[in-house]
Structure 1
Amino acid sequence: MKRSITRTVVGLLLIMGGIVLLLENLGLLQVWRSWFWAMIFGGGGLLFLAVYVGDRRQWWALIPGASLIGVGLLIFLDTVRGVPDEVRAGVMLLCISLAFWGIFLSDRRQWWAIIPGGVLIVVAVIPMAARALPESVVGGLFFIGLGLVFTVLYLFSFSNPDLRWAKWPALPLFLIGLLAIFAAQLLTWWPLLLILLGLYMLLRTVTGRR
């Protein structure tokens, strides 16, 4: 069964690749090239997802399947005006992230998939958030996001005690993120300390205190 599925997928991919190269050589992809490639990558991704649907033990197929669909969406969004680069890249990364979450949800023993799945979400969301947030805050949010990934992993330790170790990377990541945010704010507002000190000295002078 496994060999037949593999042969089917490889055969279909070879056929699709041959058609694409033939059309490219004949110059028939000039006008609709982006749309065509988006459909090719998306179709290839659906083939891998079909492998997983046919046999849930083939969880590996989710990774190339979601990745190819993500690339297809990236190419498609490139044809849409006004879509920022961060959004296009974020959509692709979120698609890949869904593959790892699907692996974990299909088999809770595959807890390792939470880490790449969560990290990809953070990497996808932070650049988009950076468009609306100060640069000094974005770096701290990145570490806080990574801390949340390990926090989610730690929450599953109630059903799997082997995951209790996840709290140790979560705590320092949260601390680094908070320090980065507050340190950046301190660098901005520290002159207020000089102003307060100056006002205090003037007040002592006016009141006649030494």
Structure 2
Amino acid sequence: MSRWNWRILAGGGLILMGVIALLDAVFQVELSGLLWSFLFLLGGAAFLAVLANDRNQWWAAIPGFTLLGIGALIGLSRLAPAATDQIGGAIVLGGIGLSFIVVYILNRNFWWAIIPAGVMASLVVMLVLEPVFGESIAWIFLLGLAATFGLVYLLPTPGGERMEWALWPAGVMVVISLIVMGVSVEWAAYAIPALMILAGIVLFVRALRRG
């Protein structure tokens, strides 16, 4: 885009923002929040347009979906404040996580993108389930991290080999999540021993079959 066109867009944006601010001040019209929402959404769409024109520009997915999430949060806070309190954080974190998923889909060599995507997804699940489990939800996040590293191990790589190192952090996170669950969740005192018994039975049966 030429410098002249950028000046037109910048000038038009400043005029629009000035008009909105003036309406807020004179007529007490609450439009500034929706304006900021629109600007963030527009910025996110601009980055995604760069990505759509050239898939090699994978980096554009990260600011693109992040800005879309922020814009959606601002707009929702104006249109439905009660819903913002419940899912506001999940919207932004979900946008960030989605950006890394898109990065991995565009280039399977970027396996590292699964890790931040899994972290964001774990946080989203934790925020969504907080009303159900209360404040004792740290184990959900840890279990999500375990699933993330498990996914890193399971997903195919261009060379076809497994990234076996990912099993170590996955296993550690599972153990820690079970410990935290056992301390913080009442029903875990029954669920965890039941899972241990079930795992023991599975190992015992498999050993008998191989024998």
TM-score bucket of the superposed structures, by smaller chain: 0.7 to 0.9
Evaluate the alpha carbon distance shift between residue 15 and residue 164 of structure 1 in structure 2; reply closer, same or farther with a 3 A threshold. farther
Q: Deviations over 1:5-56 (max 9, x none)?
A: xxx3998777555434334445346231111111111011111101011000
Evaluate the alpha carbon distance shift between residue 45 and residue 36 of structure 1 in structure 2; reply closer, same or farther with a 3 A threshold. same
Deviation at 1:163, TM superposition (A): 1.8
After TM superposition, the score normalised by the length of structure 1 is: 0.76
Deviation at 1:183, TM superposition (A): 2.3
Give the 5 Å matches for 1:61-76.
61-76=60-75
Tell me, in whole angstroms, the C-alpha distance in 2 between the residues paired with 1:70 and 1:109. Answer: 26
Tell me, in whole angstroms, the C-alpha distance in 1 between the residues paired with 2:3 and 2:123. Answer: 32
| Partner AA of 2:116 in structure 1 | P
Size of the aligned set, in residue pairs, is: 181
Tell me, in whole angstroms, the C-alpha distance in 1 between the residues paired with 2:111 and 2:10. Answer: 35
- Rg larger for: 1
Evaluate the alpha carbon distance shift between residue 153 and residue 81 of structure 1 in structure 2; reply closer, same or farther with a 3 A threshold. same
8 A contact 1:67–1:92 mirrored in 2: yes
Give the 5 Å matches for 1:12-51.
16-26=9-19, 27-28=21-22, 30=24, 31=29, 32-51=31-50
8 A contact 2:76–2:84 mirrored in 1: no
Deviation at 1:125, TM superposition (A): 2.0
Q: Which moved more, 1:20-29 or 1:118-127?
A: 20-29
Give the 5 Å matches for 1:1-210.
8=1, 16-26=9-19, 27-28=21-22, 30=24, 31=29, 32-79=31-78, 80-136=80-136, 138-156=137-155, 160-161=160-161, 163-185=163-185
8 A contact 2:153–2:163 mirrored in 1: yes
CA RMSD of superposed structures (Å): 2.7
Tell me, in whole angstroms, the C-alpha distance in 1 between the residues paired with 2:50 and 2:2. Answer: 8
| Partner AA of 2:182 in structure 1 | F
| Partner AA of 1:151 in structure 2 | G
Deviation at 1:135, TM superposition (A): 2.7
Tell me, in whole angstroms, the C-alpha distance in 1 between the residues paired with 2:153 and 2:61. Answer: 24
Tell me, in whole angstroms, the C-alpha distance in 2 between the residues paired with 1:131 and 1:166. Answer: 31
Q: Deviations over 1:49-84 (max 9, x none)?
A: 010110000000101111111110010110113214
Tell me, in whole angstroms, the C-alpha distance in 1 between the residues paired with 2:59 and 2:73. Answer: 22
Q: % of aligned pairs identical?
A: 33
